[in-house]
Each structure stands twice: as C-alpha cells, then as structure tokens.
Amino acid sequence: MIEKAYYIFWLAIPIILLIVVLGYDDPLYINIHDTYIVFHATQLAILVSLLFGGIGLVYWGIKKSRKRL
C-alpha cells in the first residue's frame, strides 16, 4: 500500500488546473427535468482541486495524528 497516499491528491491538483489552462474549455451541461445546469471547465477544475486538497489535507492530518499515538 502507498505510504503517503495524500501526495496523489496533492499532485493531481496542478495537473487538473494545467489541463484547463492549456486548452480544455468545454462546458458541462447537466439536465435535471426542465432545468439545465451549466458548469464551465474552469469552475469544475477549481471545485475538484478544492475537493482533492481537502481530502489530501484530512488524510495527511489522520496520518500525522496516528504517528503521535
């Protein structure tokens, strides 16, 4: 098993943001009944980056606190 799995989440953040900056600019359309929700690629990249950053931070905190026990 990977010793420091939170690195995977933290390394994915710049990769995701780099993909969006370098040219992937398609919007995502979500249809719920009669409502369309449209997300721009930049918004999704920021949302996923924040999510991955939070997951990595929580995982790092758990690993750090268990070493002290």
**H or E element: which one contains 29?**
strand 28-32
pLDDT of res. 52? 92
pTM: 0.75
SS3 category, 31: strand
The beta strands (E) that lie in the chain are given as 28-32, 35-39
Q: What is the pLDDT along the chain (69 residues), one digit of tens a residue?
A: 567 778 888 888 999 889 888 987 788 899 999 999 998 988 999 999 999 999 989 988 888 887 655
